[in-house]
């Protein structure tokens, strides 16, 4: 089982593709949920997801705009895709035959 924040972060990584790094993930989530995501609310789950094997990381090239620091990019692993598929299946099953609530 994934926490809702982990699910949303995995979905953001999937949708952002090659442009999935911490700031872009945070920005995407803030736009999609219409709420501000703190740095910790993104990076702590990213660390957990990486440790669980759902996400791989790679460092980009150093950039002048970041003072020579590299961006860390995130990609879903096969295991991460399977976890997302399981969440989707479970939600579809749980919501089946539910009337519109609002």
For the chain, domains (ranges, CATH) are 4-95 (1.10.10.10)
Scan for tokens 């703190």, then name that residue: 38
Q: What is the pTM of this model?
A: 0.88
Task: Encode the chain (102 residues) as per-residue pLDDT tens digits.
Answer: 899 999 999 999 999 999 999 999 999 999 999 999 999 999 999 999 999 999 999 998 777 776 677 889 999 999 999 999 999 999 999 999 999 888
Q: Please answer whether residues 24 and 33 qualify as being in contact, where contact means their C-beta atoms are separated by less than 8 angstroms.
A: no
8 A C-beta contact, residue 36 and residue 30: yes
What are the tokens at 55?
Answer: 């996400």
Beta bridge partners of 56: 75
- Measure the CA–CA gap between 12 and 98, rounded to whole angstroms: 27
């Amino acid at each position: 089982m994934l926490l809702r924040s982990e699910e949303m972060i995995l979905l953001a990584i999937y949708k952002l593709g090659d442009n999935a790094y911490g700031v872009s993930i945070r920005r995407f989530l803030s736009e999609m949920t219409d709420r501000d995501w703190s740095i910790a609310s993104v990076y702590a789950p990213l660390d957990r997801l990486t440790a669980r094997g759902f996400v791989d990381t790679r460092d980009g090239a150093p950039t002048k705009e970041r003072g020579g620091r590299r961006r860390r990019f995130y990609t879903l692993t096969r295991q991460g895709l399977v976890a997302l598929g399981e969440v989707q299946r479970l939600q579809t099953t749980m919501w089946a035959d539910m009337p519109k609530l609002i």
